[in-house]
Structure formats: C-alpha cells, structure tokens
Amino acid sequence: MSEDTTTTEAESASADTDETETPDLGDAGQKAIKAERDARKAAERNAAELAAQLKSIEDANLSELERAKKAAEASATELAQLRVENTRTRVALEKGVPADLIEFLTGSTEEEVAAKADVLLSRLGSSGTPKPDPSQGAKGSTQKKSTGDQFADFFNENLTT
C-alpha cells in the first residue's frame, strides 16, 4: 500500500505542475480542470480512508485468528488432562484401587498406570476388601428362638429360684 501512496503523491505533484502549464485554456477550461483535480483529490482521500479501514479489519481478523489459536491450544491441553484422568480412573476401577489413593497412580499410558496400580496394591497387602473377623459378631447357637421361647427362658431363670 505504500507504493500506492507514493504514486498518488507523484501524480498530485504532476497535477500541480499542470495547473501552471495551462494558462491559455480560459476560465471555463481552468474551472473544469480545477473541478476535475478537486474530484481526484477527494477520490484519493476516500481511497486512503478505505485502505485504512481495510487494514484495521485485517488486523481485527488476525487478532481473532490468534484468539482462536489460543482457544484451540487451551482445549487441546484440557483434553490431554482429561484423557490422563480418565485412564487413571478406569485402571483404578479395574484393579480395585481405593478412591482416596487414585491420585498416586501416575503415568502417561494405560500400561504405566496399571503397573503403578499393581505396585500400590501390593504395598497395601490386600485387594481393597477386608477379610471377616471371626472374633466379632454373635456367638453360640445359630438357631434363633421365638419371642415366646425367650420369655419362657427368662421367666424360668429369674422367678423359679
């Protein structure tokens, strides 16, 4: 665009010299030439304004493109993080890792995360479900007595002595 402005400056310089070279045209001819030159100057100003507007629009489009690129990069980063989190959660569910220990599973591939889960579970010493404790719970006979039998036993034990 700088070439356009230099050519218009050269043309306007030659136009100024034309004014001095045409004294024999008469009043009507000089008025016509002056009107034509004024119209050309107005057209050149209009063209320069339109070129500036076009440049500002192109700059705006470029900044929109840059914003779109940044948004795409942010989305790609978030997608990668979600994939890693999904892999960790899936492996933890398959292996039986407790939910509060999922954060200790690291790795970028499913195989690496599975290996870490195996190590973690081996250090815990169990697969996540506790074994039953036989020392707790009801003792004695496993047969339940009816309410009437329980009342009769209580009556016989406490009132017959």
Q: Are 128 and 96 in contact (CB under 8 A)?
A: yes
Does the structure show a pLDDT above 50 at 1? no
What pLDDT score does 61 carry? 81
The more confident residue out of 157 and 127 is 157
DSSP summary character for residue 132:
P
Provide CB contacts within 8 A for 88, sequence distance 6+.
102, 105, 113
What pLDDT score does 138 carry? 67
Q: What is the pLDDT of residues 22-60, one digit of tens each?
A: 557 788 888 889 999 999 999 999 999 999 999 888 888
Q: Where are the alpha helices (DSSP H) in 96-127?
A: 110-124
- CA dist 84 and 96 (Å) reads 18
The model carries a pTM of 0.41
